[in-house]
Each structure stands twice: as structure tokens, then as C-alpha cells.
Amino acid sequence: MENKELTLLEVPEPAQIRDWATENGILILAHSYQDGFLQEAAHFVGDSLELARHAAQANATAICFCGVHFMAETAKLLCPDATVFVPDMEAGCSLADSCKAEDLARYQQHLTEKLGKRPTTVAYVNCSAAVKAQCDIICTSGNARAVVESIPATEPILFVPDKHLGGWLNETLGREMILWNGACEVHELFSVETLLALQNANPGSITMTHPECPKPVRDASDFVLGTAGMLRLVKSSEAKTFIVGTEANMIYRFEKEAPQNTYLAAPGASCACNLCPYMQLNTAEKLWASLHARGPEVDVDEELREPARRALERMLAVL
Ligand code: 13P
Ligand code: SF4
């Protein structure tokens, strides 16, 4: 049946969708930035690293990936025999888009000539399979420090595509990695002025921000953490109020798994623009339709598979 026709059908409750998928041999994975409905419909919800690990170990024959395109591509690379599909093929990522494979190849060539040797290229997982294929090792927000620390301090490193995550790694690890000039359009809009105002209005609160946030926002935070690290913190901390400097759907998970606390979404400079517009393209209707259609399918070009998978597997071996 066509996706379009199915979107007109009534969508069942999340638990019914999950059961239907189980009966039909489909594993539903969802990133924590998806809305509550999609999180509830999924068999497994996680950060980028947990989702990559889950895909690698699941032995699934069909995966419906509720997230953005590079995450589904990663699942396909790590679970190559599975059919991997997504609710909306247009769900991309501004950070991934900021680093094109051809531009990266030119810059790597330029640096090789300038340095007299090819720098080790570390790529944040938020990039295309074509970019991954040109990199030595991948990292996520959950293991970036360990991945960079696994590379000898004497090695020149090019870090792509997020200049904020790369800048935070340089600061905290004392490295001087060369940074690609990319950024996430969601995290870049958090404002230090509105964050300070929210902190003043909530004395005793703890501020956690994602390393994709700009330096002034990170510097005004108590903790800089990936989404899985944030979840661990809210479950274990004595604090009761948390200001959350990441995509606002993350709060759904916090409220579900640590309901004893209060969560306040950090706002942008002039709006509450803290929802990822790409993640929002995935809806309950599109999920239901894609499960029936087993599509649209995500695939990776033959020649990219081996080098991209190698860089991902090198990451998985670190932590
Ligand atoms: P995590 O690696 O923390 O899941 O974040 C993914 C992402 O896209 C952040 O914007
Ligand atoms: Fe990409 Fe930013 Fe959306 Fe994460 S929040 S998927 S980095 S655009």
C-alpha cells in the first residue's frame, strides 16, 4: 500500500503499533529527540551511541528508524543485512549538511600538504556515510572524549563537522584539533542571556547543556553532557530542578524516567526554537505508514560501506 493512503488510516495507540511491528518482525528504534508518541511506540529509545550499539547487536531483519537520516544510515552500516527504513526521508540534519564529502576531501588534501602528513580525521557521527568513509574514526556526544583520547597527543587531528563539540573537546582535553566550521542550527540558538535569566529565577537549579551549544552557553552551565549523560545525571542527582539545554523532547524521557524532578527547557535568544525541525518531520501517521510500506528505505552506496563501517567499528571498539 502507498504511504500516502496509509496516512489517511486511523493510527493506533503506540503500544499497539509496537506490538504490530513485533508481530511483523520489525524493530522500531527512536532517538530521544522524537516526540513522546514515537518514543512510546519504539522497542528501544536512546542517544546516538546507544542506538548504534543496539543496531549492531540486534540481529534484526527490518529496522524502522525514528530519527534523522544519518542515524538510519549508521544503523544500515552496522546491520547491513537488515532492511532499514524511516518515516520521512526528508528528516536530515543541518550539522551533517554543513560538511560535504567533496569539500572535506579538498580540505584533507590541503592539510596534508601543509602539515607534511595526513591528519587523523575524527568525525562526529552527525555526518553522511560519504563523510564517514573519508574519516579514520567516528565519535558521538557520549564517547567523544574517550575517542579523542585514544589518539596519541602528538597526532595532528582534524575534527568534523561540529566546531562547538570540537572546541569543547579541545578545551577539556587540552588538544589543538583543527575544527571544521559546522554547527547544529538548534543548539546554536540557545542564548546565554536567557539562560542566565532562567538560572536567576530558579536558584538551586542545575544547568545541563549539550556540547553542540556555543562556548558562552557551555561556560554558563554546571554540566556539559550528551543526552545519555544528562539522563544518568537526572536519575542520580540530589538536585530537584534541571535547566535543559538540548532539544526539548528530551524532557519527555526525563519526566518518564526521573519524574521526581522539575525540568525547564532553556529557550533560544528570541523564541522557544529548541525543537529540531528535522526530527519533527517524523509523525505517528508517517511511522504507521512506513511500517506497512517497509519504506522509504535507506541504503548506502556499495563503495562507501566498507570504509564507513570501519570508522564506526573503530569507535565501537574504544568504548
Ligand atoms: P546525542 O548523541 O546526545 O544523542 O545527540 C544527537 C544529536 O543529534 C544532538 O543534536
Ligand atoms: Fe542535527 Fe541539530 Fe537536529 Fe541534532 S538537533 S539532528 S544536530 S539539526
Those residues whose C-beta lies under 8 Å from the C-beta of residue 232, and which sit 6 or more positions away, are none
Q: Which ligand is nearest to the CA of 45?
A: 1
Distance 116 CA to ligand 2 centre (A): 35
Instruction: Give the nearest ligand 2 atom to 70 CA.
Output: 6
- pTM tops 0.75: yes
Distance 26 CA to ligand 2 centre (A): 25
Would you state the pLDDT for residue 267?
A: 82
Would you state the pLDDT for residue 290?
A: 98
Distance 202 CA to ligand 1 centre (A): 26
Within 10 A of 116 (CB to CB), how many other CB atoms are there? 8
Give me the residues of the chain with pLDDT under 50, please: 1-2
Would you state the pLDDT for residue 272?
A: 63
Instruction: Give the nearest ligand 2 atom to 278 CA.
Output: 3
Domains of the chain are: 2-91+279-299 (3.40.50.10800), 96-184+307-318 (3.40.50.10800), 190-265 (3.40.50.10800)
Distance 186 CA to ligand 2 centre (A): 6
Q: Which ligand is nearest to the CA of 51?
A: 1
Burial of residue 272, with CB atoms counted within 10 A of its CB: 0-12 exposed, 13-18 middle, 19 or more buried: exposed
Distance 226 CA to ligand 1 centre (A): 7
Would you state the pLDDT for residue 4?
A: 52
CB 230 within 8 A of CB 266: no
Amino acid at 239: A
CB 198 within 8 A of CB 264: yes
Q: Which ligand is nearest to the CA of 69?
A: 2
